[in-house]
A and B are shown apart, each in its own frame.
Chain A
């Protein structure tokens, strides 16, 4: 049976998918996950989830636009030039800028 493993590096981080393990039950799956994914790398917590319990949506199969890959310039902060902003707006814009760069990269690779 296949179990997907999610590792949380530090307390309060999100759990990120790091790989999978094969195990007949949850107890062994947690043990294998510890050995495979938490022995060397820093880890605060692990989740193991039976593969068949995970529902998926794939952009290419379902023809859904995910991650803002469609042309929608008007909906990003980076598209409006308004001069110096309050600190928290600058922060939000920086996050959007980063996402935009990732989008461009993803679009180039597809």
Chain B
């Protein structure tokens, strides 16, 4: 298939491993899915310390279940990327380890305390879910299949995140104050989640043309703000004065003042050149090395002992 045919046929779940796709498509799809897979893995590593820090057994269990889910999503996505034939799973995992693999800006920042956790588990995951829901209609079928399962599980993460948010927001005045501080700190990063506006997006146009993406960054951010600004208000969170956000009644959408956001930092973050982000990658590298023996045990070609692992349920 040549690129023109791809563009004219592009539609939901249109292409799969049986199709002869041009190099440009396979590379763009690999870039997008690998980015998504890396983000799931790095998100899991951000949340992992909170299995221990969670204040109750129920919360520990739920955070633990969520971390399991995210790792599973990463694995599904590497598989969906792998069958594009550009990179193997091992290559993608190696790139993540050595700092070449790109992932979502929010997962470069370590979370300092329990009050920051709902910023990830509710707002960031909510933003991710907003985006993922549109990808049920992506043109690469294996990606869409992975998204089906991801969306099935993701609803729990966000509702659990909101449940934590609600618990803190109705706590003591000190709780509320610390929550507001966490929100002030994370809000600009969350606004940057969808990346720069359309006119500055490097890969967006091509991905839209070939049906990999079905909604632009701008539209996604507006849809996210529509749904989540009212949630912030519901829990008594004050929206910081900067970055400025105004509702444009005529266009019926939120306008975010781009110049209030630190795009230089965002650029460094997205190129893996931001020191706290580099530390997150390094942590991940150490964990990858620490469990090397598990991969060795699994890929050892001696006959299986016949035991099945307990379901990762």
Contacts and interface: CB of A to CB of B under 8 A. Distances in A.
A62 B307 CA distance: 8
Contact of B155 (A72, A83, A89): A89
B141 interface: yes
B159 A77 contact: yes
Interface in B273-306: none
8 contacts: A12-B141, A72-B65, A75-B65, A82-B166, A86-B227, A87-B227, A88-B130, A96-B156
Interface string B113-151: 000000000000010011011000000010001000001
Interface residues of B, number: 33
B3 interface: no
A93 interface: yes
Given A86-B227, A88-B129, A76 B308 contact: no
A92 interface: yes
Contact of A91 (B133, B145, B313): B133
B75 interface: no
A74 B12 contact: no
Contacts of A91: 133, 151, 155
A86 B159 contact: no
A70 interface: yes
Nearest to B129: A88
Contacts of B152: 92, 95-96, 99
Given A72-B61, A74-B62, A93-B155, 14 more contacts: A12-B12, A65-B310, A74-B65, A77-B159, A80-B160, A80-B162, A82-B163, A82-B166, A88-B133, A89-B159, A91-B155, A93-B159, A95-B151, A96-B152
B154 interface: yes
B155 A96 contact: yes
A56 B13 CA distance: 28
B187 interface: no
Nearest to A90: B155
B76 to A, nearest CB: 15
B13 A12 contact: yes
B179 to A, nearest CB: 16
A32 to B, nearest CB: 23
A95 B58 CA distance: 23
B58 A74 contact: yes
B185 interface: no
Contacts of A82: 159, 162-163, 166
A89 B153 CA distance: 10
B203 interface: no
Contacts of B311: 64-66
B313 A85 contact: no
A109 B162 CA distance: 35
Interface in A57-76: 57, 62, 64-68, 70, 72, 74-76
| Of A64, A88, A95, most B-chain CB atoms within 10 Å | A88
